[in-house]
Amino acid sequence: MNRVFEKQKFIGLDEKWDLTPDADHGVVLTFKEARIRIKENTGEKEEFLFVDKYYFPRVAQALSKYCEMSLNHNESIDDIVSNSERIFNLINTIKDEFR
């Protein structure tokens, strides 16, 4: 198991993203979001949980991907600065907590 996960088995990054260990000493970055799909045959709306997983050998690589994905959906420079500061603080918290 990755050393970061010796104290806890889950690190929540925000409301949609989290980090968990995998069986091979790596890290899984998981994105979860409630979505609605429309069934083709009936036109009925159905809610489902969309899950996307990214596998990395190191926590630093997972956090890099999280930064990339989180900053892709900003609409203004102010949003980018705000999210960058939030991510920087989050990474420092993780670093301090798991040294």
Mean pLDDT of 80-87: 88
Mean pLDDT of 13-22: 91
Mean pLDDT of 35-64: 92
Residue pair 29/56 in contact (Cβ under 8 Å)? The answer is yes
Strands 11-12 and 17-21: antiparallel
Res. 99: pLDDT tops 90: no
pTM tops 0.75, yes or no: yes
Residue 6: band (very low, low, confident or very high) from pLDDT cuts 50, 70, 90? confident
Instruction: Please give the structure tokens belonging to residue 98.
Output: 């798991």
Q: What is the per-residue pLDDT for 36?
A: 95
What is the helix (H) or strand (E) element at residue 92, kind and residue range?
A: helix 77-97
Mean pLDDT of 14-40: 91
